[in-house]
Structure 1
Amino acid sequence: MSFGLCALASARADAPLRNTYWKLTHLADTPTRTAARQREAHLIFVAHQQRVSGSGGCNRVMGGFELDGDKLRLSRIVATRMACPDGMEQEQLFLKSLGDVEHYRIIGSQLELLDRSGEVIARFKAVALH
């Protein structure tokens, strides 16, 4: 019986911000999509460094971040400059939104990045890597 309770508790535990593959699912309230033959937009916050990396869908993304409680500031975000036939508009909105991040919250396997007023800028889902 105690095993069942432990399994239930761990199933509801919040995913950690760091060292989790966060797949972008929404920009504000708009669902995102992955263009054919392109990477999905995602972020990974490095476990023991103040670095973040990922993809905007077409281009690789990297930079720094600072945490203080629920405050999250992304800094020095840069991206490669490849042109892709699809998804560039979504990628540009994603990259622009990263500069507006002030806070974050994690509920279960969902990460929300919020602006100064508490509005959701971007929503992500934790994806298990095998």
Structure 2
Amino acid sequence: MNKFITLSLAALAMSACATTPVPSGDWTLAEIDGQAQAATVMQSLTFDSANQRVSGTGGCNRFMGGYTMEGATVTFGGLATTRKACLDRDVTNAEAKYLGILSENSFELTTVAGQLILTSASNRLVFNQ
């Protein structure tokens, strides 16, 4: 019996250290901090786990960069954006907020019922696939 408990605890400890799988596919931002995103603002996120790269749209511009995963924590680094002029101030503001949040935080990454959720100490982003 002790051998079974020891093996079970060892398996549990090893699974706790495992890296959370990075969700594949394109994800569309649905809400920031509980506030639904306007349907007119298309913001997205796509992971390329083979190359540890991330890309997406902020509203007007595309962004791309790297990321690191440690356990269930994802950190985005060195995000670069295109520099198209955006004529809609609401879209410009939404893009600045979204890209600012991605650039300044590490997130706990979870997937639940077709949603990707990124939670930091100060923000929560919810994406739909």
How far is the alpha carbon of 1:34 from its aligned partner? Answer: 4.0
- Runs of 4 or more, structure 1, over 2 Å off, are 16-19
Q: Are residues 1:66 and 2:86 paired?
A: no
Q: 1:51 to 1:79 in 2, by over 3 A?
A: same
Q: Are residues 1:106 and 2:108 paired?
A: no
Please state whether the residue corresponding to 1:102 is helix, strand or coil: strand
Distance in 2 separating the partners of 1:61 and 1:24? 14
Superimposed CA distance per residue, residues 17-58 of structure 1 (whole angstroms, 9 cap, x where no aligned partner): 3431010011111111243xx7x2101000311100110011
Aligned residue in 2 for 1:30: 35
CA contact (8 A) 1:18 1:46 kept: no
CA contact (8 A) 2:101 2:123 kept: no
Letter in 2 for 1:68: E
**What TM-score do the two structures reach when normalised by structure 2?**
0.74
Q: Which has the higher helix share?
A: 2
Q: Are residues 1:93 and 2:97 paired?
A: yes
Distance in 1 separating the partners of 2:65 and 2:126? 19
CA contact (8 A) 2:44 2:57 kept: yes
Aligned counterparts, 1:38-77, within 5 A: 40-77=42-79
RMSD of Structure 2 on Structure 1 (CA) = 1.7
* Match 2:124 to one of 106, 121, 125: 121
Letter in 2 for 1:101: S
Aligned residues: 106
Structure 2 unaligned regions, length at least 5: 1-20
Structure 1 unaligned regions, length at least 5: 1-15
Letter in 2 for 1:32: Q
Distance in 2 separating the partners of 1:94 and 1:57? 9
